[in-house]
A and B are shown apart, each in its own frame.
Chain A
Amino acid sequence: MLKIGSKSFSSRLLLGTGKYPDFHSQKKAVEVSEADILTFSVRKMDIFDKDQPNLLQELERSDYTLLPNTAGAATAEEAVQTARLARASGLCDMVKVEIIGCSKTLLPDPVETLKACEMLLEEGFIVLPYTSDDVVLARRLEELGCHAIMPGASPIGSGQGIINPLNLQWIIEQSSVPVIVDAGIGSPSDAAIAMELGADAVLLNTAVSGAKDPIKMALAMKKAIEAGRLGFEAGRIPKKTHATASSPSTGMIHS
């Protein structure tokens, strides 16, 4: 079970709901992923065009935990206001702190992220910061009281996979709160490796929504994350620089 704050979740896949090619594939991908936690963004309504399909209106909301993000915020204050708006729905008390500090790389602003987390924790939110794979920053976020640490595998939407497994491993080793690898996952094997490294969960969006068949990819990610977790729990063999036969070396027929 994945435990965040006082809540437990059976799925270790957190699924983003953005940029699917159509409403059907968005809804179906969510369904087959069997994710418990779904991320959303908070945006102004077009009050004169209310008939756009909206996933949240179609979901059985009691089946899911909403994880709103603060995407669009450039400062801690903007992120906090977005989080307050999300919580005012009465539907969630968790927030993914996402404060982008660079429009080219979409890497998070560490200073504003730290500040926002402090403010949100004071206001009683369950705080999950999206952060770079900086080991020291991850430790500082945990010391603040964040309920999970969400280091990126690589830049958002890049599909580059895990570009610094060593940093992720260090973050995982030092953390006593869940580590959720967030951003940059491109393929099921990327997600499986994150889990094999010992991550508690993976959050992904574009890898599914941008796939040729998002529904099939949602299923693939679910299986990859389950497989990776099982592999981690089972304990892989060490890598060796010599071969070791797996068949018996005695009783050969042709000796």
Chain B
Amino acid sequence: MKLIVNEKEVTVPDSVTVVKDLLHHFELTDRVVMVEQNQEVIDHSAHTVQPVKEGDQFQLVQFVGGG
């Protein structure tokens, strides 16, 4: 399945069906990651149920140092 993640086209296995699988695929499950899918913000509590579909556009963001 092809997706756009942070402006890059990526191919993920078909086993990726929900957001949590996507984070697992990128080895991000132990990090604080916030997810935007097709411009919609996905709450962390929905990561296990929010479906991932062909062509979806994701932004994966994090907290970084800032003032």
Contacts and interface: CB of A to CB of B under 8 A. Distances in A.
Given A47-B5, A50-B28, A18 B43 contact: no
A contacts with B: majority SS: mixed
Contacts of B28: 45, 47, 50
Interface in B18-67: 26-28, 31-36, 41-45, 59-67
Interface in A28-71: 39-47, 50, 54-57, 66, 68-69, 71
B34 A85 contact: yes
Interface string A181-210: 001000000000000000000011110000
A228 to B, nearest CB: 20
B11 interface: no
Given A86-B34, A88-B42, A90-B43, A40 B66 contact: yes
Contact of B65 (A18, A44, A90): A18
13 contacts: A17-B65, A19-B67, A42-B34, A42-B61, A54-B63, A54-B64, A81-B41, A85-B34, A85-B36, A88-B35, A89-B44, A183-B67, A206-B67
Interface of A: 16-20, 26, 39-47, 50, 54-57, 66, 68-69, 71, 81, 84-86, 88-91, 156, 183, 203-206
